[in-house]
Structure formats: C-alpha cells, structure tokens
Structure 1
Amino acid sequence: MKAAPTPMASAPSDLHAQPLTVTRGARERLHGHAGRVLWLTGLSGAGKSTIANALEAALHARGRHTYLLDGDHLRHGLNRDLGFSEEDRTENVRRAAEVARLFVDAGTIVIAAFISPLRAQRDAARALFAPGDFLEVFVDAPLAVAEARDPKGLYRKARSGQLPQFTGIGALYEPPLAPDLVLPTHEWPLDRCVERLLALLPPALAA
C-alpha cells in the first residue's frame, strides 16, 4: 500500500531558486498580455469542464495564450498515483495549483477546473499566487441538479456504494465563502457564464 503524500509540504531549506534571465514580465510582454488563473470549483456535474472549455475557446479566438487544466486529465498523468482520500485530494489540488503557477509565470491564462472540495485546499492554492493572479469561480449547481445531470454516471455509482467517498454524497463539499464570481449553472446558459468570466478578467485580457 502506498503511503499517503504529505499535504502542502514545504521545500527543504537547502534548496535555492536559480536566478533566471527571462522573467515573467518578459514573457508577458512577448505574449502581449498578463498571466492569470481562473480556478473553477464546484460539484461534479456542475458544469466546470464545459464552461472551462468554452472560455478557453473564447480567449483563444481573441489571440490569448491559454491552457486548460482539468482534474480528470491530470489524474490520467501527473496525478495518476493519487486516490480519493482527503489526503490524496489535497495533494491533487496542491499539484494542480503548482502547475497553474508555472503557467502563470509563463504569461499564460490558466483555466483550472477542479472540484477542490475543501476551502483549505483552495486557500492554499490561492496562497501560491500574487494578489490578483488567482480568481476563484464557484460553479454553483444544487446537488439535486448536478445529480440529475450525472454526465459520467458517478452519482449513480456513489448512491449504490461503488464510490464511497464521492463529493456531495459520501464526502463534504464546502462552497466558497467569498468567491470572485458565482455562476449559477442551473439558471444561466453557457454563453452567459462565459460572458461573465470574460468580464471578470481585466479588459486587456478579455477584449
């Protein structure tokens, strides 16, 4: 049995950052815009991946440098060694946030779609970024709506006991207390959600 990863472990004290000639500012000047991360959190089935994909397409059409980080995609590669215990979920979010930070340093607009169920996980992710670089977006759909959608059949498995630690059924989801934006996907169509996300970004990024 693999040992659970240490959540949010700090770097050893004998490690030192290597000075680099090409800075974030230089990369942003080359791209013509600043880097940011939009962190989409919400229940499975709330619409995070659908919105993230549509937002990236809208920004790409505007000539912006983007990258979409999706929880399922990372679990097929970087995070495939992680399970679904609270410790592993915390490590999943930590790794995703570190990757997002690298992309922001590269001058890229990152759209991160992760359930990231606990406030402490999202607060730790935000703490990696300079003020204003991390925008928390609550993709808000009531549990009953998300379960009725159930695009991957996960709620059905959770209700039958096949997924005992599934968020919203057997594991806690803590909604953000003060997100930068709330998207009620049970009330708003996709295009309105994308419009509100574009409006959340500085004009130089979304114009």
Structure 2
Amino acid sequence: MIKSDHITWQTSQVSKQERQQLAGHQSAVLWFTGLSGSGKSTIANAVEKALYDQGVGSYVLDGDNMRFGLNKNLGFSAADRTENIRRIGEVAKLFVDAGTLTLTAFISPYRADRDQVRALLADREFIEVFVDTPLAVCEQRDVKQLYAKARRGEITGFTGIDAPYEVPNNPEITIDTSAQPLEVSVNQVLVYLQNHGYLGGRRDD
C-alpha cells in the first residue's frame, strides 16, 4: 500500500473537551474482549441501552457488523485479525473525539493488538473489559455450532480451539457471565463508569 505524502490532518474548530462538555459526560472506549459466545455483544448492547436511558450518548461497534462494511475485505488470518482491530481502533478514536462513549465487542485475541488501540488514545480513554467466560460455557451457548465445526476441522483458525486467545494482563473490568446474570454484569460496568467520573460525580481513581 502506497501512502500519500500530501495529506494533512484537518483540525476542527470544536475540541473534544467542548464536545464532552456539551454532552455532559466523558468520552472513552469500553473495549469488550473475550471468546466467541462469552457474552461481549450482549453486555455491550445492554450497557448502551442503560446509558441511553440515562441520557448518555453511546454507540456499539460490533465485530460482525463491522465485517459487513468497513472490514468486509478481511478474513480471519492472524494478519487480517490484526488489521481488523487496527481499523476499529482508528474508528473508535474518532468516536471518542466526537464526545461519545464507544463500546466495542470484538474477540480481539491478541494482546498486542489491544495494547495498540490503547496507545492510540489518551489516558483513561481505553477501558478494557475482559469477558472471562469459560470455554466450556461458550461452547454450550454456540447456536451456530462454530466450536463443533472447529473441533471437527471444518473451520480453521478458530479462537480457543486451534488459534490462541491471549488473556488481558490488567483489564479495568473483568466479567464472568457464567457466574452472574446479565443485569449484574451491566451494573458492574455502569458502576465503574460512575465511580471513575465518566458519567459525572465522584472519581475514585
């Protein structure tokens, strides 16, 4: 790919801080990561609805949805997975600049890829949410039978079976959906946001 040397970043007349002030809350990325079937999208969408009910501007970038458009030319090789996350990271950064609390739901199996997205953002703008649901539970939930197909060799490079998942070292939030109902998981995220000053009020960090 040839990069042009004739491009310049266009600075807006409205700052990120001004957009946040208008919105009445901080912007950041809630990065939900975990195995397929762990509950990432379910929690992210439920958190988005809860934030909406509170008048907080948020948006979910879902792994499957992004592959319908922006990332439809990518497969599931290690290189394509890395590029998938790189693109999403850049999109999420723009959402944060727009003053939006952005929720992403991607397996994002490689620690280095997640760390690269964190490095794109300012301090406190990347909140890693590790949905730490056991593999056996994820397989039980798999209505598409993707795990079964992977175990039979019909699908290759499937995370958790014949491709690795690198567990986060120090996630801001860890959730095990096999140990608690959805509403508890959602509340866990909301409490974190409230206690750390993203929604206004006190900040515990």
TM-score above 0.5: yes
Question: Structure 2 CA distance, aligned partners of 1:146 and 1:193?
Answer: 16
Where does residue 45 of structure 2 map in the other structure?
Answer: 53
Correspondence for 1:195: 187
Q: CA deviation at 1:156?
A: 1.7
- 1:16: Cα distance to partner? 2.8
Q: Residue type of the partner of 1:192?
A: V
CA distance in structure 2 between the aligned counterparts of 1:166 and 1:206, rounded to whole angstroms: 40
Structure 1 position 161, deviation (Å): 1.4
Relative to structure 1, the CA distance from residue 203 to residue 88 in structure 2 (aligned partners, 3 Å threshold; closer, same or farther) is: same
Structure 2: tracts of 5 or more residues without a match: none
Query: Given that residues 51 and 194 in structure 1 are in contact (C-alpha distance below 8 angstroms), is that contact kept between their aligned partners in structure 2?
Result: yes
- Percent identical pairs in the alignment equals 53
Question: Is contact 2:157-2:163 (8 Å) kept?
Answer: yes
Match for residue 172 of structure 2 among 170, 180, 184: 180
Other structure's SS at 1:169 match:
coil
What is the alpha-carbon distance in structure 1 between the residues aligned to residue 71 and residue 136 of structure 2? 29
Deviation digits for residues 159-191 of structure 1, max 9, x if unmatched? 121211100011000110110010011101111
Alignment CA distance shift 1:174-1:24 (3 Å): same
Q: Secondary structure at the match of 1:205?
A: coil
Alignment partner for residue 138 of structure 2, among 143, 146, 165?
146
Please list every run of at least 4 consecutive aligned residues from structure 1 whose deviation after the TM superposition is greater than 3 angstroms. Answer: 11-15
Matched letter for residue 194 of structure 1: V
Alignment match, 1:38: 30
What RMSD in Å do the two structures reach over aligned CA positions? 1.7
Q: Do the aligned residues in 2 keep the contact of 1:71 with 1:113 (CA within 8 Å)?
A: yes
- TM-score, normalised to structure 1, is 0.91
Could you say which residue in structure 1 is the equivalent of 2:86?
A: 94
Q: Would you say the 8 A contact 2:32–2:128 is kept in 1? A: yes
For the 8 Å contact 2:25–2:200, the answer to whether it is kept is: no
Match of 1:81 in 2: 73
CA contact (8 A) 2:34 2:40 kept: yes
Q: CA deviation at 1:27?
A: 1.2
Q: Kindly indicate whether the alpha-carbon contact (under 8 Å) linking 1:137 and 1:180 is maintained by their aligned counterparts in 2.
A: yes
